[in-house]
Amino acid sequence: MSDQPGLGTPTAGLAGAQATQSGREARAVLGSRRIVVVLGGFLVPVVILGAWQLVTAFGLVPPSQLPAPAEVWAAGVDLAQRGWLQQDVAISVQRVLIGFLIGAVLGLVLGAVVGLSRLGDILLSTTFAAIRAVPSLAWVPLLILWLKIGEESKITLIAIGAFFPVYTTVSAALRHVDKHLVEAGRAFGLNGVALFRTVQLPAVTPSVVSGLRLALAQSWLFLVAAELIASSMGLGFRLVDSQNNGRVDRIFFVIIVLALLGAITDALVGVLDRWIKRRWG
């Protein structure tokens, strides 16, 4: 009888060791995949940078049209030393975030109205579909007349850009929520806000996050148009100012900064997306 525990202990230890080894292998595979994803993401930019350097080094394109990467970097350093880069980035990020938040909230609310209400769909969907087709620059003269040339007109234009991706995604997702889920929720006595919070919202949350991701990207697109409205600060203003002064190196640098800021904000929303998928998954 005294031998029985002794027989079980090595078996349990072996099982524990195997589990530990399996966990290490899983983490190693996951880590290697992340490394591959990160390296793969940098592959195309590195290739583009190398091609850019070769083209400028061999003089295939005039420097007035395509400056060398070193010249673009020097232009960025000059902007930073003057304090203009930090100022432009700060004001542009502020405008994008405020406009995005306003547009996203309105998109969520009105998208829910259209997606959940047949009457709301009839009254609003056609009008919003027509307004969505209006180009961003077409709003500029009207916003100047209505809101003058202050921050309000710029933020309003960005909010318009952020509104439609969220509105479209939310309204479409709510229309296509599984009817069996809704019926099951009602069978448990859920109605109105409780039904929306418990059943419909979790069902459409991944789509909502995707809409927010598109809206944030659209906000950066509308930023440049917004900063054409008599701006004296911001990355859009810096683009126009560099064009007027023939500073192609600065134009390239500002475009790269806009791309990096867009990628960073998109990555932040991606983190939110993964967290929501783990929770509601």
CB-CB contact of 161 with 219 (8 Å): yes
Q: Cα–Cα distance between 102 and 222 in angstroms, integer?
A: 14
Task: Tell me which of 28, 45, 61 is where a domain ends.
Answer: 61
Position 22 scores a pLDDT of: 53
Q: What is the torsional sign of CA 65, 68, 62, 47? A: negative
**Do both 199 and 81 map to the same domain?**
yes
pLDDT (0 to 100) of residue 200: 79
Domains: count for the chain:
2
Q: Provide the residue range defining the domain that includes 177.
A: 69-280
pLDDT at 28: 52
Looking at residue 69, what is its pLDDT?
Answer: 95
Question: Phi, psi (5° rounding) for residue 245?
Answer: -100, 5
Q: Residue type at 202? A: P
At residue 6, the pLDDT reads 47
Question: Cβ(136)–Cβ(190) under 8 Å?
Answer: no
25 and 119 in a single domain? The answer is: no
The pLDDT value given to residue 19: 47
| Angle, in degrees to the nearest 10, between helices 84-116 and 235-244 | 130
| Short-list 172, 182, 257, CA closest to 210 | 172
For the domain that residue 78 is a member of, what is the CATH number?
1.10.3720.10
Same domain membership, residue 234 and residue 131: yes
Tokens 């959940």 identify what position?
116
246 and 211, same domain (yes or no): yes
Same domain, residue pair 92 and 137: yes
Q: Which residues have a Cβ under 8 Å from the Cβ of 114 and sit 6 or more positions away?
A: 120, 121, 124, 125, 128, 167, 171
| Residue numbers of the chain with a pLDDT score lower than 70 | 1-32, 34, 37-38, 230, 280-281
How far is residue 162's CA from residue 170's CA, in Å, rounded to a whole number?
A: 13
> Which of 12, 40, 61 delimits the end of a domain?
61
Question: What pLDDT shows up at residue 9?
Answer: 52
In terms of domains, do 49 and 98 share one? Answer: no
